[in-house]
Every structure is written in C-alpha cells, then in structure tokens.
Amino acid sequence: MSDEIVYGINAVTEALRGERKSFELFIAGSPDDRRLARIVQLANERGVAVRSRQKPDITRLAGSDHHQGVALRVEPFPYSDLEDIIAATAAAEDALVLLLDSIQDPANLGSMVRSAACAGASGIVITKDRSVGVTPSVERVSAGAVETLPIARVTNLAQTLERLKEAGFWIYGLSDEASATIFRQKFSGKIALLVGNEGEGIRPLVRKGCDVILSIPLHGGVSSLNAAVAGSIALFEVVRQRELAVK
C-alpha cells in the first residue's frame, strides 16, 4: 500500500502524536506562526524530515487547498480489529461504541469520528462495502480524531452486531421512523449506537439485529437530520444521561 498525505494543522498534529510512522513534513508559512512552529517541533522530536514548500506545491500534494500550509507523508491508516475493540472494553461496564452502516460522505464520517472521540467512545466500526474509509479528507474533518480511537472495518455488520451482543453490548439503531425517542430511552451498560446510510438509513438485515430502534424528535418543516448530526446528538444524549447518573 502507498503512503498517505495528511493535511491541516489539527490532523497533522495528531498524526505526529500518534503511532503511525511519519516520513516527511511539508510546511508553507511563517516561522513565527506558533501552530506551525509546534508542528515542526513535534516533527523534530520524532526525527521526521521537514521540507519548506510554497502553498501551491502543498495544494498539489494534498489534492486540496484546505491544508493550512502543512502536510505530512505517513504510512496508510491502520485499521483496528473488531476483537481488539471488544477486548479493550471487556472490563468497562459503560463502554460506548459507534457503528456506522454504509456512510459514504467523508465529511459525515470525519464529523462522527470527532464527535465519538469527544464523547469518550471506545471505538468505531465501519463497513468495508458501500462506505468511505479513513481518507485524508476524513482525517482533516475529524481534526485528527482518527488518531485517537480505534476504527475497525467489517465485511458483515449484521454478524458484528451479534458478536457485540455476545460481549454484553445493547444495540440501539437510529431511524426517523421509530416511535420511541432517544430522550425517553434509559441508556445504561455497554452501548453500541448504530447510524445508517445518509439516504437509505440502516439496511433491513442490519436493522433486525438491533435491540431497540430510536428516533430523534423533530419539529418544523424538515423531515430528517444529517447523519453526522443525528449520530452526534445520540452520542451526547448517552453522555448527558451518564453525567446525571454520577451526580
């Protein structure tokens, strides 16, 4: 597999702090910029070569002009194994995992990775087919959060749900057609939140594997929420309930 280019200040910073091998850092900007200076310092600490380039050069390298004057050549993103996520949550009574069924928009995936990381999720599971993977664009939108929690790719999500149930997880799927809502559901124990595809939602076979299907109540003229927004709301409803339980 070929190397990848990570770009954007937050994404590059987290990549340099992470476990992936980094090869070259490309910088276009003022040496007085504290954020860039910190990135150069991180690169030096890891023994990564630093190259000065013009912004148009970094734009061509990154394939995007949203690089903020910095790009990093790294080894490909290392996906985790589902069993590793399950093993890491074995002793956690309140583990939280985010499941994504065929999410295709890099912006949605990146946003949900960032939300999951901020919500304290133990891991994310995405599908291999009909789904976007962790690309440089996803890394930028996630603000580098892809480097902070395990992300597994699975071939059969329905079987994955059964495996999570065996490990003690309750599976909660999101659907705007459900009569029960997330705000009336008591979340406790090990929780796996499932968000479906942007257009079709959760696939029927996968939906059958859910313990509970929940909706987010909507008011006004719009009939549905963006997948990333819905997933974030559900994640932080779990966080809200757990915060209240501690008080």
Residue ranges matching CATH 3.30.1330.30 in the chain: 4-74
Alpha helix (H) ranges present in the chain? 9-17, 34-45, 55-62, 82-88, 106-118, 136-141, 157-166, 204-208, 227-246
pLDDT grade for 247, boundaries at 50, 70 and 90? low
CATH code of domain 4-74: 3.30.1330.30
Q: CB-based contacts of 211: which residues, under 8 Å, 6+ apart?
A: 165, 170, 171, 172
Handedness of CA 128, 148, 87, 84 (dihedral sign): positive
The percent of residues above 90 in pLDDT, for the chain, comes to: 86
Res. 100: pLDDT tops 80: yes
| 73 φ/ψ angles, rounded to the nearest 5 degrees | -90, 120
Show the tokens assigned to 138: 């996803």
Residues 14-50: tens digit of each pLDDT: 999 999 999 999 999 776 788 899 999 999 999 999 9
pLDDT of residue 219: 86
Q: In the sheet where 4-7 sits, what is the strand order? A: 4-7, 70-74, 22-27, 49-52
CATH of 82-246, one of 3.10.129.10, 1.25.40.320, 3.40.1280.10, 3.30.1540.20: 3.40.1280.10
The distance of Cα 64 from the centroid of its chain, to the nearest Å, equals 20
Res. 224: pLDDT tops 90: no
The pLDDT of 69-92, averaged and rounded, is: 95
* Number of alpha helices (DSSP H) and beta strands (DSSP E) in the chain: 9, 10
Specify which residues 25 forms β-bridges with.
50, 72
Show the tokens assigned to 164: 């999570």
